[in-house]
Amino acid sequence: MRLVQFVLTAPKASRVAVVGDFNDWDPSATPLARSDGGSWIAAIPVSPGRHVYAFIVDGDRWVSDPASPLAPEDDFGIRNSVIVVGGQEST
Amino acid sequence: MSRIARAVALLALPALAWLATAVSAAPIDKRLAERLDPATAEEVWKVVEAAGAQGVPTDPLIVTALEGASKHARPERIVAAVRERSAALLAAKEALGPESTAGEITAGAGALMSGVPRDTLVRLRQERPRGSLLVPLVVLADLVTRQVPVGTASMAVLHASRIGTHDADLLRLRSRVEGDIRRGVSPAAATIARLQTLGLGDAPAPPVRGSPR
């Protein structure tokens, strides 16, 4: 597992969460913490490989990560972002 | 048979049938049961069980359903998405071979769903019959995600595998292509340029189109 930092700038948000295939898309699993300058940050362990994810702002607004490419797959109508985590595969 | 015996037998039949069902079917994954309505959870679970019986990893299917649940997708859309991923997992396993790991099959399915042709997976396994294909498959899908044409991305990863490129160097190539694209280089040009510098250490970035060399 590698520690991956997720960051979203959302100064007007009251809460932000990251959801993805690494936390069962659970909106309550990984809340971000507010940081300086309106940024929200969370660092969580993620297994090596390609992962798709998104941010949920204020409980109901889905936002893709402006710092990452969008996934080409059908995402149930809400585009996901993609991140690649390097490292050795565990067998 | 006496009337009493017949009555007992008739009463026992449903109980026996229920018992047979309960013993043969594994319980629905708790995550599905908690986050999907019962009918959808059951439909999804049927797909999951069928996929598991064919030896493909099932967690990606459950996670796909959970994604749909979180995005409030229609039940039929969730089931369709799970079936689509199940088909991709099976196709990846067939292309990569029966000895493939769960990670390779999952990454292979991701590549197929990104538009990578099945033949590329077959050829990747031929280039690397024993080593893990997780990183090449991940890099391949990621390049396509970044708008590198499928043919160029496939050629690049196959070539890198053919010349024995280490996973760390392949990941570095991916990272450098990403940086070049951010600087304005076309995805195809970035990939080809970086491919030519594989194993040559910190090669300079290819020039942005229109900028002086």
> Residue B63: its chain A contacts at CB < 8 A?
21, 24-25
* Conformation bin of residue A24: beta by default, left when phi > 0, alpha when psi is -120 to 50: left
A25 touches chain B (CB under 8 A): yes
What pLDDT score does B183 carry?
Answer: 93
State mean pLDDT over B197-203.
Answer: 62
Residue A43: pLDDT over 70: yes
Give the containing element (helix H, strand E) for A42: strand A39-46
Q: Which residue has the higher pLDDT, A47 or B4?
A: A47
Interface predicted TM-score of the whole assembly (ipTM), two decimals = 0.92
What pLDDT score does A60 carry?
Answer: 93
- When pLDDT is cut at 50, 70 and 90, the band that residue A86 belongs to is confident
Residue B76: pLDDT over 50: yes
Residue B20: pLDDT over 50: no
Q: What is the pLDDT of residues B111-134, one digit of tens each?
A: 999 899 999 999 999 999 888 999
- When pLDDT is cut at 50, 70 and 90, the band that residue B212 belongs to is very low
State mean pLDDT over A52-70.
Answer: 94
Burial class (CB in 10 A: 0-12, 13-18, 19+), A28: exposed
- When pLDDT is cut at 50, 70 and 90, the band that residue B47 belongs to is very high
Residue A76 and residue B73: Cβ atoms within 8 Å? yes
Whether the CB-CB separation of A48 and A2 falls below 8 Å is answered with yes
Q: What is the pLDDT of residues A16-25, one digit of tens each?
A: 999 999 999 9
Residue A74 and residue B66: Cβ atoms within 8 Å? no
**Minimal Cβ distance to B67: which of A25, A48, A90:** A25
Chain B nearest C-alpha distance from A58 (Å) = 14
B117 touches chain A (CB under 8 A): no
The pLDDT mean for chain A works out to 90
Round to whole Å and give the CA distance between A20 and B104.
Answer: 19
Residue A50 and residue B68: Cβ atoms within 8 Å? no
The pLDDT mean for chain B works out to 87
**Minimal Cβ distance to B107: which of A49, A69, A72:** A49
Spatial CB neighbours of B76, under 8 Å, sequence gap ≥ 6: none
What pLDDT score does A44 carry?
Answer: 94
Residue B202: pLDDT over 60: no
State mean pLDDT over A70-78.
Answer: 83
The CB density around residue A41, as the number of other CB atoms within 10 Å, is 15
Length of chain B: 213
Structure tokens at B90: 């099976």
Round to whole Å and give the CA distance between B76 and B68.
Answer: 10
Query: Minimal Cα distance from B174: which residue of A?
Result: A84
The CB density around residue B191, as the number of other CB atoms within 10 Å, is 27
Give one DSSP letter per residue of B108-146, joined into a string: HHHHHHTT--HHHHHHHHHH-SSS--HHHHHHHHHHHHT
Residue B81 and residue A76: Cβ atoms within 8 Å? yes
What is the separation of C-alpha A46 from the centre of its chain, rounded to a whole number of angstroms? Answer: 11
Separation in Å, CA B194 to CA A73, B11, B122, B141, B198: 26, 74, 24, 17, 7
Number of CB pairs, chain A paired with chain B, less than 8 A apart: 77
Q: Is the dihedral of CA B28, B30, B33, B36 positive or negative?
A: negative
The CB density around residue A86, as the number of other CB atoms within 10 Å, is 17
- When pLDDT is cut at 50, 70 and 90, the band that residue A36 belongs to is confident
B171 touches chain A (CB under 8 A): yes
- When pLDDT is cut at 50, 70 and 90, the band that residue B198 belongs to is confident
